[in-house]
Structure 1
Amino acid sequence: MRCVQDLGVHESSRNRGFRYLINVVCRCAPGLAFPGSGHPCRKDVAMRAVVLTSPGSPLDQIEVADPVAPPGGSVIDVLACGICHSDLHAAAGDYPTTLPVILGHEVAGLHPTLGPVLVYACWGCRKPDCWACSSGQEMICPNATEAGLFKDGGYAERMAIPDDGYLVPLGDLDPAQAAPLACGGLTAYRAVDHTLPFLSSAQKPRALVLGAGGLGQYGLQFIKLRSDAEVVVVDASPDKRRIALELGADHAVAPGEAEGLFTAVVDFVGADATLEAAAAHVARQGIAVVVGLYGGSIPFGFGRVPHEARFMSSIWGTRDQLGELVTLAQQHTLHSTIEVIGLADAQHAHERLHAGDVSGRFVIVPGNTA
């Protein structure tokens, strides 16, 4: 049996895999000691979770002790947890992460009194002198602790929440469909929000969406719901272009086939090629917003981009915006392509997502064993 162990041993971080074995997981029968530790394994193993033990290591499904509700917080049963591209970056060691950690920040759960909820998973420091937290923008708090990076997340049967204020009631929304709204949907919502003043003031607003994966599919729907803009979607995948048209895009074209200038461009890829496309197609005094994580860049300077065009990055969203998004989803049918998997399939899903072998979003449902 695999069980959780908390030995209070402080090892050098130079060998995190070994520290994980000593501090957290021992693979033995209840009552037996971990070799060399002198400490027996705990018997209060209560839930399954998928744990990242070291950067680049395969995700490990183990049994761990139930999380404990922090003061002022609670523990929820995880109903569904989306898999995000940033989970791939965390697993690869591209982001600073407290290891070992349970990944997952797109979480829908069941609260003992609130019922089905969506989790806002970027937890700021909430100090009175923090300008980000005091303005409701915890996602840019320099000391934020994000679920799935610095605190255990939703690749598990249960999850601890530091404050019930981070929970948004779902009503009758399907948890598996709603889970990706917590990051993928919210990120697209905020990115589109930046473009609305530009689209609303243009005589013939046009919006260009680069990338028709999970975020791009949300983004084009938000633009159609919240503006009168013509929406053109660019993606290399014929299947994703077909989905984009089904979701309401006016046109869906392959890379290099977009024509004309656009009031707003939203880049859900962030590669060199898509940023170059954004610079080529954004109108003067238009806006280009990038949220994709591919790490591309373009030359920037006077004469290198259209005059008075605005280029900006956008990250996640606020708690208030998540509440707005859930309300929008309750009032309008938001279509998303999801593939439901179980906890045991998390590693394979990461591999497929890395290879681009998914049309929308993977969603882990802990109770799914098919």
Structure 2
Amino acid sequence: MPHEVRGVVARGKGEPVEVTTVVVPDPGPGEAVVRVLACGVCHTDLHYREGGIGDEYPYLLGHEAAGEVVEVGEGVTNVAPGDFVVLNWRAVCGSCRACRRGRPQYCFSTFNAARPMTLASGEPLSPALGIGAFAERTLVHSGQCTKVDRSVAPEVAGLLGCGVMAGLGAAINTGGVGRGDSVAVIGCGGVGDAAIAGARLAGATRIIGVDVDPRKLEWAREFGATDVLDAREGDVVERVRELTDGFGADVVIDAVGRPETWRQAFYARDLAGTVVLVGVPTPEMRVELPLLDVFSRGGALKSSWYGDCLPERDFPTLVDLHLQGRLPLERFVSERIGLDDVEAAFERMERGEVLRSVVLLG
């Protein structure tokens, strides 16, 4: 039978979110109903509320989540009721051109649940990133469920579902950071600090955090930055070079996603170095560079989608590293809140007061 649960819904552009009744249908073929235990408050949810991603209101917000499978539909074999899972928005199809070429981390046709969740009135909801996890239960495609060790705290595990994975993957998967490398990360919020943690995990010897907020620079140190730079004090490019024997960093990660920060990343890297863009720009942003500079500096200019992750490969590995004490995921959790506190959490996030607010539902 369908479930009636509480969920956080954005009804219109810029309107405060509300907690209301959400109807979760029985799972269809290939689908699963998950009891959400914890869900992080991500900037992407705020973008949905503000109309920055689309206008398919009402949205059921929340996507950075962990929970327990309670029901599965026909044909589901990868998960079963009782499994502890992290939800992901890359349920690979296995048949698109990327999957056929052995690159499922770039899947162009990921799966979502086909049956809609609705308001009590019957009006269909658009789930954020195909997940909609600011709710006591949610309906997803079974491929969006990745089993992990259930001994990890749900509020920690759920962070891998989006922001933390994006940053870690930008360093390890996209940037290819290796032992002895120098790395600069521009923007030391949640994604940037995850990139710093990833660079440290990969064995980088010099990790430079760059931001304009002293509080965020202190966070960067806690996650492994060997040096921090306040971008308001002097030229970022020159200061990165000073810290890297005059050459520039091997890998520079732009976790902000603005033309000025991307240019800093481009010029702050060493010859044949790598730039990784993981911060999300807005549609009107443009970058202009001398083409000769692109040619003469060599290297690679990359964008990182979801940390170029493969959830079934990366989530269990990162959870294991956390349980071994090698990856301090718990430091990302600034506060634990309830469903009724999401709107206030958005405000704290915009003021830069938290790395992650996490909604606890279990």
Tell me the TM-score normalized by structure 1: 0.77
Q: 1:340 to 1:310 in 2, by over 3 A?
A: same
CA distance in 1, matches of 2:344, 2:266: 36
Shifted more, 49-58 versus 75-84: the winner is 49-58
Structure 1 partner of 2:339: 343
Give secondary structure in 2 for the equivalent of 1:122.
coil
Matches within 5 A, 1:176-325: 176-194=155-173, 197=176, 199-200=178-179, 205-255=181-231, 256-257=235-236, 258-260=239-241, 261-295=248-282, 296-305=285-294, 307-316=297-306, 317-319=309-311, 320-325=313-318
1:58 Cα deviation after fit: 2.0
Q: In the aligned structure 2, how far is the partner of 1:300 from the partner of 1:144?
A: 38
1:4 corresponds in structure 2 to none
Indicate whether 1:364 and 2:340 are aligned: no
Aligned match for 2:328, one of 330, 334, 338:
334
Work out which structure has the larger RCO, using CA pairs closer than 8 Å and 6 or more positions apart in sequence.
2
Which residue number corresponds to residue 172 of structure 1? 151
Query: Are the counterparts in 1 of residues 167 and 194 from structure 2 also a CA contact under 8 Å?
Result: yes
Q: Match of 2:361, as an amino acid?
A: P
> How big is the shift at 1:272?
2.4
Asked whether the equivalents of residues 211 and 235 of structure 1 are also in contact (C-alpha less than 8 Å), the reply is: yes
Q: Which residue of the partner structure matches residue 159 of structure 1?
A: 138
SS at 1:311's partner residue?
Answer: strand
Rg comparison, structure with higher value: 1
Aligned-partner Cα distance in 2 for 1:138–1:231: 26
**Moved runs in structure 1, 4+ residues, more than 6 A?**
none
Structure 2 stretches lacking a partner, 5+ long = 71-80, 114-125, 242-247
Shift of 1:195: 5.5
Letter aligned with residue 222 of structure 1:
G
Structure 1 pair 127–220 and aligned structure 2 pair: CA distance change class (3 A): closer
Distance (whole Å) between structure 1 residues aligned to residue 300 and residue 203 of structure 2: 19
Residues 351 and 159 from structure 1, CA distance in 2 versus in 1: closer, same or farther, beyond 3 angstroms?
same
**SS at 1:259 equivalent:** helix
Distance in 2 (CA, whole Å) between partners of 1:150 and 1:243 is 28
- CA separation in 2, counterparts of 1:195 and 1:167? 21
Amino acid at match of 1:119: L
- How has the CA–CA distance of structure 1 residues 161 and 138 changed in structure 2, closer, same or farther, with 3 Å as cutoff? farther
Specify the code of the residue in structure 2 equivalent to 1:308: G
- 3-state secondary structure, aligned to 2:45: helix
Say if 2:171 and 2:177, in contact at 8 Å, map to a contact too. Answer: no
Contact 2:155 2:360 in 1 (8 A): yes
Show CA shifts across 1:102-143 (max 9, x none).
11111110224344321122345x263x12344463664156
Between Structure 1 and Structure 2, how many residues are aligned? 319
Q: Which of residues 10, 14, 33 is equivalent to 1:75?
A: 33
Please give the secondary structure, in 2, of the residue aligned with 1:93: coil
The CA distance in 1 between the partners of 2:339 and 2:29, in whole Å, is 28
Pairwise CA distance, 1:196:
5.5
Quick one: distance in 2 between partners of 1:328 and 1:267? Answer: 25
Q: Call closer, same or farther: CA 1:136–1:276 in 2, change over 3 Å.
A: closer
What's the % identity of the aligned pairs? Answer: 27
Q: Tell me if the contact between 1:123 and 1:144 (Cα under 8 Å) persists in the aligned partners.
A: yes
Inter-partner Cα distance in structure 2 for 1:47 and 1:330: 32
Q: Is the 8 A contact 2:131 2:140 kept in 1?
A: no
CA distance in 2 between counterparts of 1:93 and 1:196 reads 31
Q: For 1:89-168, what aligned pairs fall within 5 Å after superposition?
A: 89-96=47-54, 98-112=56-70, 113-124=81-92, 126=93, 128=95, 130-134=96-100, 135=102, 137=104, 140-142=107-109, 145=112, 148-149=127-128, 151-163=130-142, 166-168=145-147
Query: Contact (CA 8 Å) 1:127, 1:133: kept in 2 or not?
Result: yes
CA shift for structure 1 position 93: 1.6
- Looking at structure 1, the residues matched to 3 and 304 of structure 2 have their Cα atoms a distance apart, in angstroms, of 40
Provide the secondary structure at the position in 2 that maps to 1:160: strand
Q: Which amino acid aligns with 1:237?
A: D
